[in-house]
Amino acid sequence: TLLLRRPPGREAYPGDVFYLHSRLLERAAKMDDAHGGGSITALPVIETQAGDVSAYVPTNVISITDGQIYLEPELFNSGTRPAVNVGVSVSRVGSAAQTKAMRAVAGQLRLELAQYRELVTFAQFGTDDLDASTRRQLERGQRSVEVLKQGQNVPLPVEQQVVILYALNEGYLDDVEIADVIGWEEALHAYMSSNHGDLLKAIADKADLTDDSRASLNSAIEEFKKSGLAN
């Protein structure tokens, strides 16, 4: 407020700061035909104070944008990267931007991960009294976290994402040690590329998981597990 010489509003920001934010984000850039045409989408990056997303600037920007990805320092420090807090992260576009194949395998993943985070907090008080169902949910959550870990500058094609999430959902990783999940995933991708490239291409081209694709995936993953390459 002092810098802009305007009347103060909430938290000493100018009263029209919402308008200023929306003007920056909604009209980031529009090129005329002489400069190639098209528009530029702004991706605002906000540093929160002690993880407080309810502060003035974060809530302002959240209300303007089509969603937010919340990166949590605790997850980053624990080795979970990208360190996305799925409970706080939101997409207003949601599944409308996903292929049918991705919706089929990832539809419940966000909810399951959020429930897993809550269970982890609860389990810190001791796991001796947890029932078998809760233990299975914790173990599945741990494997989900490992599967979603991704190295920097290591993009993964959508069809490969579909394959590993399908394997996770169908329980093919349930007997894989947590520490071996990443290596198992890498071996599966290499096996699928070498031996079932046509299946990967079909998933990519159709952008859907048909009954035939599911049957072929089951057969391919079972072959992979029997081959010994998964060890």
Catalytic residues, which ones? 92
For helices 109-123 and 132-148, what crossing angle results, to 10°?
A: 120
DSSP conformation letters of 124-181: TT-STT--HHHHHHHHHHHHHHHHH---TT----HHHHHHHHHHHHTTTTTTS-GGGH
Integer Cα distance of 39 and 59 in angstroms: 25
Three-state DSSP at 39 gives: strand
Q: Determine the 3-state secondary structure of 67 from DSSP.
A: strand
> Is the four-CA dihedral 215, 219, 224, 228 of positive or negative sign?
positive
Pairwise CA distance, residues 228 & 26, whole Å: 53
Amino acid at site 151: G
φ, ψ for residue 10, nearest 5 deg: -65, 135
